[in-house]
Amino acid sequence: MANLKDLKNRISSVKSTRKITKAMQMVAAAKLRRAQEAAEMSRPYAERFNAVMARLSASVGGSDSAPKLLTGTGSDKVNLLIVMTSERGLCGGFNSNIVKKAKTHAQKLIGEGKEIKILTVGKKGRDQLRRDYADKLVGHVDLSDVKRLSYADAQGIAKDVLARFDAGEFDVATLFYSEFENVVSQIPQAKQIIPASFEEDEADGADSLFDYEPSEEAILADLLPRGVATAIFSGLLENAASEQGARMSAMDNATRNAGEMIEDLTIEYNRSRQAVITNELIEIISGAEAL
């Protein structure tokens, strides 16, 4: 009977776990709707901002008066990797995929003889990177107390990055995050934000002429820091939607697996119980025949 008791306790335990994973799936679904809307609403602004900056940077070209954020330091020896992950787990391979892409990029740079520095946003990424690159970690941003992401959060990170760039701590900065595609697909991305790189859409007013006041260099000097914050904010929003999508998918799989386990354990319990009853009947019959 001890075996039956253990099976019954295990079935009860798995049922409790299934209730938890189902509840987490529903919570993630509710959060996903808001996060997805925020990410999708930010994309048109980021695309138009990129288009304007592409035209401005193309017209300024390689002039001596071009801002340093656009031209760079003239070297790519020291690279800052800004790795953005979540503060919490239970979201499948979301965090691991971002960290894996960052590690691949880091190994490539080290193989080329370059120096890397890592700034982490989110506890899960820091914990994973600390195992192999503890001596490369130069900073961490904790967003665990942030209930709803705002542009101010991105500005805080951008100010830190820009201050490090102005102090000459690095030459190139690359942002790592996950782009939300759908509930089952989140694509890790690596985006260079310093020196700024913009791709102009050929179909977006390629033959149009613009007059800028003040000078193009002055406008770029003002907008480029804002561009760094915009890229970070866009990455944070994409990450938030990707995290909830990955968690929803992971909890759905966990709920399904728990259901299958309950079915298997129930079958095993019924078989064991039937075997015990059969043995008891055999003992009773055998005793009656002996009398």
The residues annotated as belonging to the active site are: 91
* CB neighbourhood size of 72 (10 A): 16
Q: Are 15 and 263 in contact (CB under 8 A)?
A: no
DSSP string, 105-161: HHHHHHHTT-EEEEEEESHHHHHHHHHHHGGGEEEEE--TT-SS--HHHHHHHHHHH
DSSP string, 193-255: EETT-----TTTTTT-----SS-HHHHHHHHHHHHHHHHHHHHHHHHHHHHHHHHHHHHHHHH
Burial 173-185 (b: 16+ CB within 10 A, else e): bbbbbbbbeebee
Q: Which helix (H) or strand (E) is 4 found in, with range? A: helix 2-60
- CA 212, distance to chain mean position in Å, is 38
How far apart (Å, rounded) are the C-alpha atoms in residues 204 and 202?
Answer: 6
- The strand pair at 137-141 and 115-121 is best described as parallel
Question: Both ends of the chain: CA-CA distance in Å?
Answer: 27
User: Which candidate, 150, 185, 152, 165, places its Cα nearest to that of 82?
Assistant: 165
Q: Which helix (H) or strand (E) is 51 found in, with range? A: helix 2-60
